[in-house]
Amino acid sequence: MNDAEFLRALEDGSFPRDAMDHRAHLRLALLHRGDPQRARDLLLRYITRIGGLVKYNETLTQVWLRLVSAHAETTVNALMNTPLADPNLPFRHYSPERLWSDEARSRFLEPDLQPLPPPLG
C-alpha cells in the first residue's frame, strides 16, 4: 500500500485494525512530520471509526510525533533502524505512572524522567 492509500484507509476507517501497529503509527507521524496536528487528528478520526478511542493517550501520541520530528530519516524503514523502533522508548522519558495516568490520556504532559529531544531544524 502506497502512502496515499495508507492515509486514505486511515481516513475512511478501512485500514485493518490489526495492521495499526507501531510501524504504522511511525509511518503516520513521518508522513505528517511538518503538520503533527494533522497526524493527531487523522489518528483520532481513525480510532474513533474503529471503536478504539478508549485506548487513546494524548501524551503518548505527542511523544511519538515529537520523537519522529527529532530524526532526519525520511522513510519508515530508516526509522525502524533507529531507537524509534523500540515501542518502549517513551519510558526513557516518562515513568509508567505518569504516562498511563488519566491526565496523560486526556492532555499532553511533559516528561518526568528526561526531556524529549528538540525537533530538527
Alpha helices in the chain (DSSP H): 3-12, 22-31, 36-50, 58-69, 76-79, 96-99, 102-106
pTM, two decimals, is 0.90
Q: Is 32's pLDDT higher than 70?
A: yes
- φ and ψ of 112, to 5 deg: -110, -5
Q: What's the pLDDT score for residue 70?
A: 92
Q: What is the mean pLDDT of residues 94-108?
A: 97
- φ and ψ of 48, to 5 deg: -65, -45
| Segments making up each domain of the chain, as ranges | 3-106
**pLDDT tier for residue 115 given thresholds of 50, 70 and 90:** very high
- Name the grid cell of 65: 510525533
CB 66 within 8 A of CB 116: yes
Question: Per-residue pLDDT tens for 41-50?
Answer: 999 999 999 8
Angle between helices 58-69 and 22-31 (to 10 degrees): 60
